[in-house]
């Protein structure tokens, strides 16, 4: 939200006061309380008839400084996020005649006494960022104020003739060359400098400024991150309104943020997720290929069985089958009951599908159509969100007369969970938790939360309710969602997918940008609709997306109006015969599905690291190469785990330009070795893409390619790449038990490996240098 008109003036209808000095500093055991008048006090009269702000510095965990800015403290304090890792006892406080400071985990916040306002954050003698003149602002907006209020408009600033709205903002300095990343799933450029970003969940697809997963957390390439602890609308101006600063503002009388020290991006995420929640472990079977009914297509048990059997007949590994919305009767979403007209024996059907070796996922949302039997039941017991007058909140978008389950009411949550328990007992293994973004502003919640604060937080309560019941019924490590909406803390409730894309290369690229942006918020397990959701992809788009999708942590074939079984592509329009070549959609799907299954010892270990440290499986290049300026703006490639670089192909002709950081790299598909990093342009056939392993890597590769959940130590191979040294490779089994595999050299320099007294096969990769980077020929297997 922009409040100023250039450097000197305010926008019409805006009145602003700023913290002008640190008048006094009061030390507490682990905090400092600062009185910050909005006028420099030079005489006693200056203490009268003027607002003052109270600024409190504290530390919720080591390496994190909290800053709370307050005007009036007497109102109801709206809750922020659940800070599961916060604890007392952090922060060494020191107050002198010149300043006050709080030090925690190498990070120091120093507030200078007197005027002008000067709050600095430093580590190791290096300034990270600062809050200076006109940084801490208290603003009043007249009803007709002309501010840029973002996608939710200016209506929230009051209506004509109504009271003025108040806002607080903070501005933190941007250094020269400092770049900002994160703020949730955003489909534009991964570097956020120059952008205006509103934290406001919306169902807007992947091709707009709106986002399903809004997270008021960013990190920079200067070694720190910032979380605004407000679940409502947070507005960011990132080097935009003031090109030298990041501004964040919230409506109301208080603003709290946490500055999180790294210094590396991984360490920032480790501390951020320690504070807000680590990603839960997900089962190994969920890493395999998911296949969906698609959305509005026609299907019954015979259709579903034909798809699953067709995958098996074509030697295509399949782990999960997903039933989208129409497993329930139309106009009844959600009644959480199988449509008996189409599925007369759901429990028997699910048992038969399980016998085919697949898990089952079903679609749900938190909305109750008026025709659903659950509507009357929920309304009678007060389980639905209401309007201020007590009426059930309803509208006709999505489902006629639909209402919204009130997850702030524990009885409503238990009621909804009981309905899910019946489905789990009947054979459902996972839930796609769709929607949860369209939470109205004129709603009343059972716990008294304001609808503005609940708008983003609702998705967290919804997903947690579903995840909790899966944990209760299936156990820790077996619960898996396929969620669309999220905010801070959502990373603890995986998996998340990228929402409604279109079936084009452009949408494929924006989907990747959204995933990379989300990864900067600690979301570790991520997926997307292979081939795009809206429309039907041409065979080229589908095959390129298959490779990208199966080189993501989670992989799902899903569409809107058309099926996504691979054999529906490449049909000759005249003869109806199917292309059986090595570059057919079936062959490409088979190749990358089997490759992913063989990589499961590596990928599952990356997943365990995500749950233990908060480092995502799919990683923006900056996470692995923070000191390489060449990776700063990269948003068309990523690291899959610590050692594999993936550069999806977004072109019809197979041309792809990508960047290899310094050091040697070996193609996983061809064995080609590139001795030095830098920019490369390659041309790839439909069954290939740039897939490189960094020198020094030791890659654990499994012996099975038909499923993702198997004994990874059975037939394990350690692929040792150039420059690797003796090390220990951790292999995490499907049961979560870890085994350390010791890689050693003998007297002749040859590698050998052992685990629990068992010999492990070692394969030393001797990369072959090639001058022509063309990959149209069939590539050898691992």
Catalytic sites, residue numbers: 434, 437, 500
Taking the CA of residue 728 as centre, how many other CA atoms within 13 Å lie in the half-sphere pointing to its CB?
A: 7
Q: Cα angle at 388 between 382 and 393, to 5 degrees? A: 55
Distance CA 109, CA 107 (A): 7
Strand locations in 625-686 (E): 638-640, 644-646, 655-660, 665-667, 673-674, 678-684
Neighbours of 251 (CB within 10 A): 22
Tokens of 513: 């940008």
Upstream peptide bond of 263 is cis (omega within 30 degrees of 0): yes
Tokens of 337: 């009951």
Q: Cα angle at 247 between 241 and 249, to 5 degrees? A: 115
Residue pair 77/448 in contact (Cβ under 8 Å)? The answer is no
Which residues fall within 8 angstroms of residue 437, CB to CB, at 6 or more apart? 201, 202, 203, 212, 459, 484, 485
Distance CA 584, CA 578 (A): 9
**Dihedral sign computed on CA atoms, order 568, 347, 477, 484:** positive
Residue pair 553/617 in contact (Cβ under 8 Å)? The answer is yes
Question: What residues pair up with 102 in beta bridges, in sequence order?
Answer: 93, 109
Instruction: Using DSSP bridges, classify how beta strands 698-701 and 691-694 pair: parallel, antiparallel or unpaired.
Output: unpaired
DSSP output for 701-743: E-S--S-S-S-TTTT-EEEEPTT--SEEEEEE-TTS-EEEEEE
Residue pair 506/514 in contact (Cβ under 8 Å)? The answer is no
Burial of 174 (C-beta count, 10 Å sphere; 0-12/13-18/19+): buried
Residue 592, phi then psi, degrees to nearest 5? -80, -25
Q: What is the DSSP letter of 299?
A: -
Instruction: Using DSSP bridges, classify how beta strands 234-238 and 196-199 pair: parallel, antiparallel or unpaired.
Output: antiparallel
Distance CA 324, CA 322 (A): 6
Instruction: Using DSSP bridges, classify how beta strands 758-764 and 717-720 pair: parallel, antiparallel or unpaired.
Output: parallel
Residue 310, phi then psi, degrees to nearest 5? -65, -35
**Dihedral sign computed on CA atoms, order 514, 519, 523, 529:** positive
Residue pair 403/385 in contact (Cβ under 8 Å)? The answer is yes
């Amino acid at each position: 939200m922009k409040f100023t008109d250039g450097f000197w003036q305010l926008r019409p209808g805006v009145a602003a006061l700023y913290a002008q000095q640190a008048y006094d500093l009061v030390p507490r055991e682990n905090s400092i309380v600062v009185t910050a008048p909005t006028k420099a006090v030079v005489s006693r009269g200056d203490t009268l008839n003027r607002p003052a702000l109270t600024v409190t510095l504290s530390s919720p965990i080591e390496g994190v400084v909290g800053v709370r800015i307050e005007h009036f403290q007497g109102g109801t304090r709206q809750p922020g996020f659940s800070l599961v890792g916060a604890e007392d006892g952090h922060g060494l406080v020191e107050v002198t005649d010149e300043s006050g400071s709080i030090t925690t985990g190498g990070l120091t916040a120093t507030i200078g006494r007197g005027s002008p306002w000067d709050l600095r954050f430093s580590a190791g003698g290096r300034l990270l960022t600062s809050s200076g003149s006109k940084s801490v602002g208290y603003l009043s907006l007249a009803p007709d104020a002309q501010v840029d209020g973002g996608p939710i408009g200016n209506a929230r600033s009051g209506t004509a003739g109504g009271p003025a709205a108040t806002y607080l903002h903070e501005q933190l300095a941007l250094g020269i060359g400092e770049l900002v990343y994160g703020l949730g799933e955003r489909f534009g450029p991964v570097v956020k400098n120059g952008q205006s970003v509103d934290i406001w969940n919306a169902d807007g697809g992947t091709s707009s400024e709106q986002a399903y997963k809004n997270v008021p957390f960013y990190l920079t390439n200067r070694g720190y991150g910032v979380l605004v602890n407000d679940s409502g609308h947070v507005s960011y101006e990132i080097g935009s309104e003031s090109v030298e600063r990041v501004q964040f503002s919230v409506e109301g009388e208080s603003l709290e943020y946490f500055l999180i020290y790294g210094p590396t991006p991984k360490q920032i995420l480790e501390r951020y997720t320690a504070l807000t929640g680590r990603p839960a472990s997900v089962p190994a079977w969920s890493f395999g290929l998911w296949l969906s009914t698609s959305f509005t297509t026609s299907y019954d048990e015979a259709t579903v069985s034909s798809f699953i059997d067709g995958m098996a007949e074509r030697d295509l590994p399949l782990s999960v089958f997903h039933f989208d919305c129409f497993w329930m009767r139309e106009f009844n979403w959600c009644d959480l009951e199988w449509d008996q007209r189409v599925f007369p024996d759901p429990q028997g059907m699910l048992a038969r599908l399980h016998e085919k070796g697949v898990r089952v996922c079903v679609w749900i949302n938190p909305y109750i159509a008026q025709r659903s039997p659950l509507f009357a039941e929920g309304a009678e017991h007060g389980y639905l969100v209401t309007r201020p007058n007590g009426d059930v909140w309803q509208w006709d978008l999505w489902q006629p007369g639909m209402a919204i389950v009130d997850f702030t009411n524990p009885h409503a949550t238990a009621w909804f969970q009981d309905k899910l328990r019946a489905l789990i007992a009947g054979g459902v293994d996972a839930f796609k938790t769709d929607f949860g973004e369209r939470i109205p502003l004129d709603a009343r919640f059972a716990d008294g939360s304001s609808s503005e604060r609940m708008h983003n937080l609702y998705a967290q309560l919804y997903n947690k309710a579903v995840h909790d019941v899966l944990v209760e019924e299936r156990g820790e490590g077996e619960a898996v969602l396929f969620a669309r909406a999220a905010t801070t803390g959502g990373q603890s409730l995986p998996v998340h997918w990228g929402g409604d894309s279109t079936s084009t290369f452009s949408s494929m690229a924006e989907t990747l940008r959204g995933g990379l942006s989300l990864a900067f918020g600690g979301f570790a397990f991520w997926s997307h609709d292979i081939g795009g959701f809206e429309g039907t992809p041409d065979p080229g788009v589908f095959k390129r997306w298959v490779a990208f999708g199966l080189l993501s942590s989670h992989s799902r074939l899903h569409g809107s109006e058309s099926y996504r079984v691979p054999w529906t592509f490449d049909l000759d329009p005249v003869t109806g015969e199917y292309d059986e070549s090595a570059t057919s959609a079936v062959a490409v799907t088979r190749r990358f599905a089997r490759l992913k299954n063989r990589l499961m010892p590596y990928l599952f270990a990356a997943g365990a690291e995500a749950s233990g440290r908060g480092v995502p499986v799919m990683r923006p290049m900056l996470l692995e190469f923070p000191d390489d300026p060449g990776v700063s703006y990269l948003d068309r490639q990523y690291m899959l785990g610590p050692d594999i670089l993936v550069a999806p192909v977004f072109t019809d002709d197979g041309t792809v330009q990508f960047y290899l950081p310094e050091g040697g790299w070996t193609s996983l598909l061809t064995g080609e070795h590139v001795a030095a990093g830098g920019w490369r342009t390659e041309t790839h056939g439909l069954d290939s893409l740039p897939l490189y392993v960094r020198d020094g890597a030791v890659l654990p590769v499994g012996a099975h390619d038909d499923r993702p959940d198997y004994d990874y130590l059975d037939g394990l191979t350690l692929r040792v790449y150039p420059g690797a040294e003796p090390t220990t490779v951790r292999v995490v089994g499907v049961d979560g038990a870890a085994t350390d595999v010791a890689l050693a050299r003998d007297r002749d320099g040859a590698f050998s490996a052992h685990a629990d007294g068992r010999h492990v096969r070692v394969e030393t990769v001797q990369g072959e240098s090639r001058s022509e980077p063309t990959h149209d020929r069939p590539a050898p297997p691992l």
